[in-house]
Structure 1
Amino acid sequence: MSARWPAPPLLDAVLLLVSLADALVRVDIGFHTASVCAVGGAAVLVMRRHRPLLTFLLTLPSAMITDATFATTAALYTLASFSRHRVLLAFCALAYAIIDFLPWPWSHVRASDFTRADSLLHLTYTLATAVAPVFLGQLVQARRDLSRRLAEISEAREHQRLLTAQSVLAKERAQLAREMHDVVSHQVSLIAVQAGALQVGSPDAEARRAAATIRRLSVQTLDELRHMVSVLRASGSRPTELTPQPSLADLQRLVDGSAIDAELKTDLPDDLPAAVQRAVYRTVQEALTNVRKHAPGARATVHVRRADGRVLATIANTAPTRPALPLPGAHHGLVGLRQRAELLGGTLTCGPTADGGYELTLDLPATASA
């Protein structure tokens, strides 16, 4: 884990306290001018982030008159960490070094002060003191720029990954659309045609009614397939909704068109979230489909209600009255319903009843949303 810098207000407060302590230790309180310069130089550090150049200039008197140079060093570091003007930084560092090197007042400066042996050592020290915060500030600025650049690269890579995923998804959707159009739609069309022929030519009234139901369901399936094919062929430039989405208002029509003896009981309001309404509709749809497939001749009861802030949908059927025909299936229906319920914070339970029937219960929070 990388080290984390202190929060800016905390760091500013620490620098201010250290600068005041530096002034207190290095400045004679009896020297009024020096005290004012030292304390003033420390105080102006509060605006170092907003006016770094002005802050540095205001701290120079402290370095010129007193030995309290911490505030000037901190201001120069801040200026170097924000400014990209290398010439300006060089002039500021040179000015700081000259001011710190020359004794105050300047009227007392003598030529012999520059020829002493310790003058070279003092000059080297002042130059290092002036250059060090500039280099450190530039290093921090480079680190900040590098972090920003890495973040931009990561964002660009994530964007490229999403574009690649969308391209792959678009190809898969186009292929799926072709398969649905060329195979599934064709076969469903044949079913509708054959059912229509049976409806017209069969002498048995019950067979004609069954053929009419098959033809009606085939036509509805074709309409849904056409709509899904158009959705799958969309470019994906914007989210495409599978409209119209089912709601609780469509439950009665679903039950009436299920081709089984089913009864609907519901007392739900119409203001439930759309995700809850879709989950209830899809659960009832799958349950009635399973009754048709696995329990021929059974009666079904659909009871949808609201209790204690939750939505309960119970679909129960009696025992079948005739053997079920073997029909192909992927056995993913209940798995998908259970996953949908879990995503909405609910549960799906199902199992056989004591009288040989089957019961499925969906329990969802009434305020769930996807």
Structure 2
Amino acid sequence: MANLILSAMFSVVVPAAPAALGVLIRLRTELTTTLAERDAARRAELTARLDTARADERARITREIHDAVGHNTTLIAVQAAALAAVTTDPAARETAEQLRHLAKQSLAEMRAALGLAGAPSHNGLDDLPRLITSTRTAGVQVTYTGIDATPSPLISRALYRVVQEALTNAVKHAPGAPVEVTLTRDSTRITATITNGPPTAPSPDLTPGGTGLEGLTERVITAGGTLSATPTPTAASPYAPPSQPEIRRK
């Protein structure tokens, strides 16, 4: 009798074992998949929270910069306009108007750099004549030779910033010196050459330091060009994609 019972159990269990094993494997696979999906969802949620926190922090910093710098810049523009309205000296009036224009332009460029809504687009190659004119109005002797070209916006903005930073450095470190700005181009590159003579006046009392050239180097390299600040500084950006572009950091 016992043998019959064992034989019956064996005949039932043995054929069912593969099916039961298959069910266990399937359940284990489903459980593993579910846990992996939950883990991925948890990581995605954490990443989203971090991205949101970073975005909120960037927005906060942007607002603080805009509020602080924008307030002072607006005051400069308002006071310059008031001075231009009450002064009887033509030279003082012209200087005040120039200060007001520069303050408004600085505010607009700051808003564009911070990506604020309604801000105008960044300056580019077409805006260089206006930059040269405003620099001359400020009393700097600038000779400018431009070109007729339509590079990409990235290259156009890089060229504008190269000339702008060079003029700023000339005013700071070589006051009274004439500055020559020359743009040239060939089939592959646009080259900006900015030179200045020795200073003829004491340096203005400006805050030293800054990372203008470092940031400018990164901007030019990003545009696929090279930048050097030497006794004969030049900056070049590609106009058309060369076959083997050369990018060098000096």
Residue of structure 1 equivalent to 2:218: 339
Q: CA deviation at 1:231?
A: 6.7
Contact in 2 for aligned 1:192/1:214 (Cα 8 Å) = no
Aligned match for 1:269, one of 149, 159, 166: 149
Distance 1:262 1:231, change over 3 A: closer
Aligned residue pairs, count: 237
CA RMSD, Structure 1 to Structure 2 (Å): 3.1
Q: Distance in 2 between matches of 1:284 and 1:265?
A: 12
Instruction: Tell me whether 215-224 or 277-286 shows the greater mean CA deviation.
Output: 215-224
Q: Distance in 1 between matches of 2:111 and 2:180?
A: 35
Contact in 2 for aligned 1:312/1:362 (Cα 8 Å) = yes
Q: CA deviation at 1:190?
A: 3.7
Q: Distance in 2 between matches of 1:182 and 1:240?
A: 18
Residue of structure 2 equivalent to 1:316: 195
TM-score, normalization: structure 1? 0.56
Distance 1:292 1:242, change over 3 A: same
Q: CA deviation at 1:315?
A: 0.9
TM-score, normalization: structure 2? 0.79
Residue 215 of structure 1 pairs with residue 96 of structure 2:
yes
Contact in 2 for aligned 1:196/1:215 (Cα 8 Å) = no
Distance 1:223 1:187, change over 3 A: closer
Aligned match for 2:133, one of 239, 256, 270: 256
Contact in 2 for aligned 1:304/1:313 (Cα 8 Å) = yes
Contact in 1 for aligned 2:132/2:142 (Cα 8 Å) = yes
Q: CA deviation at 1:362?
A: 1.7
Q: CA deviation at 1:319?
A: 2.2
Residue by residue over 1:32-63, the C-alpha shift from the partner in whole angstroms, topping out at 9 and shown as x without a partner, is xxxxxxxxxxxxxxxxxxxxxxxxxxxxxxxx
Distance 1:261 1:311, change over 3 A: same
Q: Which amino acid aligns with 1:129?
A: P
Residue of structure 1 equivalent to 2:120: 243
Residue of structure 2 equivalent to 1:366: 239
Residue 284 of structure 1 pairs with residue 163 of structure 2:
yes
Contact in 1 for aligned 2:112/2:120 (Cα 8 Å) = no
Q: CA deviation at 1:213?
A: 5.2
* Residue ranges of structure 1 left out of the alignment (5+ in a row): 1-113, 203-207, 353-358
Residue 175 of structure 1 pairs with residue 64 of structure 2:
yes
Distance 1:230 1:281, change over 3 A: closer
Q: Distance in 1 between matches of 2:210 and 2:109?
A: 22
Q: Distance in 2 between matches of 1:167 and 1:242?
A: 20
**Which has the greater radius of gyration?**
1
Contact in 1 for aligned 2:158/2:219 (Cα 8 Å) = yes
Distance 1:364 1:231, change over 3 A: closer
Q: Distance in 2 between matches of 1:348 and 1:255?
A: 21
SS at match of 1:340: helix
Residue 124 of structure 1 pairs with residue 7 of structure 2:
no
Residue of structure 1 equivalent to 2:244: none
Q: CA deviation at 1:284?
A: 0.5
Distance 1:248 1:226, change over 3 A: closer
Q: Distance in 2 between matches of 1:171 and 1:213?
A: 37
Q: CA deviation at 1:297?
A: 2.5
Larger RCO, structures 1/2 (Cα 8 Å, 6+ apart): 2
Identity %: 24
Q: Distance in 2 between matches of 1:294 and 1:127?
A: 91
Q: CA deviation at 1:182?
A: 3.6
Q: Distance in 2 between matches of 1:229 and 1:282?
A: 14
Q: CA deviation at 1:349?
A: 0.5
Aligned match for 1:201, one of 89, 92, 103: 89
Residue by residue over 1:201-246, the C-alpha shift from the partner in whole angstroms, topping out at 9 and shown as x without a partner, is 37xxxxx2xx4553233212332354467679x9x8xx74741321
SS at match of 1:301: strand
